[in-house]
Structure 1
């Protein structure tokens, strides 16, 4: 058995080394992540494969969450990918509150540190994912992006002011009425965040025989 393994390594060591390096790269440097749900609509749609920069915040030990060196902290407005211990799955959400922030929501309108966040109705847009009947521009401090808000309110359209603890983050889905985010799973610990996304790599239309969406290739988020 040992001789067979040695022979296999000698004959295929270049290929096997490449495979190992690829797994290390995807674990610690960059990867893509499939988005199977609409919780981030209209920014991210079902079938998008988003690019994940795993060195946006930390240099980590491959295949672990152990940080060797902190490069930066997540900022308000970042789209983050994290391994949620509470929900036992990998999730994609937007950072709304950073440590020390006071966040509240009233009728799906955010308040950050006592200031109301501005919103603007969206006219007809060239972006196919944007629906002018439900989508609005949300002006977070320093960042503007689309959110989807249904006409009928639901139980999570409101929450009283909460202070984001040190080392944790408040995250929400852009599809505000259809997202299991910090309103369900609570604050997200810093160590669960594995990377940041700013673009789509490619996208498959689940409703049309998984045909790639040409307009989503390398689409900026």
Structure 2
């Protein structure tokens, strides 16, 4: 009996089946990878120092695309979201008319009233005390005080840390 199984293993058809199995495994792995990268998670590298107190230039970030409803490639159609973005979430997005990923923190959502008073962020009349909401650096002039402004429907206010 052992002799027959050795003969089958050496048969030309067995080698062809093994190559087909490898090819099928590689194909399934590639399809699974593309599905996961398109709809579930994606790795990003931090390109600038705008999030420096939280993320350093060159750091890697794994983004959960599924939670906010991934975009179907080649369209403007999005799948349903699990939940809407909330203040404090770090979000990877593409700004309109710019073919570049941005990584920023959501500080206000649609309908929120925001303003900056003496370099401190106020949302809906309450000062945000988180470290990422205070401007650190030379006084940028008119940017140290602005607002109040209402975040328009379908928009978020995103800032670097």
TM-score interval for Structure 1 and Structure 2 normalised by the shorter chain: 0.7 to 0.9
Deviation at 1:68, TM superposition (A): 2.5
Relative contact order (alpha carbons < 8 A, sep ≥ 6): 1 or 2 greater?
1
Deviation at 1:63, TM superposition (A): 6.3
What CA distance in whole angstroms lies between the structure 2 residues aligned with 1:30 and 1:64? 19
Question: Cα 1:46–1:53, aligned 2, differ >3 Å: closer, same or farther?
Answer: same
Name the larger-Rg structure: 2
* Unpaired runs of at least 5, structure 2: 1-18
> 2:136 matched to which residue of 1?
149
**Match for residue 20 of structure 1 among 22, 31, 42:** 31
Q: CA RMSD in A?
A: 2.3
* Aligned 8 A contact 1:59 1:71 in 2: no
* Unpaired runs of at least 5, structure 1: 1-8, 119-136, 139-144, 175-221
1:160 is aligned to 2:128? no
Partner SS for 1:56 = helix
Partner SS for 2:67 = coil
> 1:117 matched to which residue of 2?
128
1:108 is aligned to 2:119? yes
What CA distance in whole angstroms lies between the structure 2 residues aligned with 1:96 and 1:162? 13
What CA distance in whole angstroms lies between the structure 1 residues aligned with 2:75 and 2:65? 12
Larger helix share, 1 or 2: 2
Larger strand share, 1 or 2: 1
Deviation at 1:62, TM superposition (A): 5.2
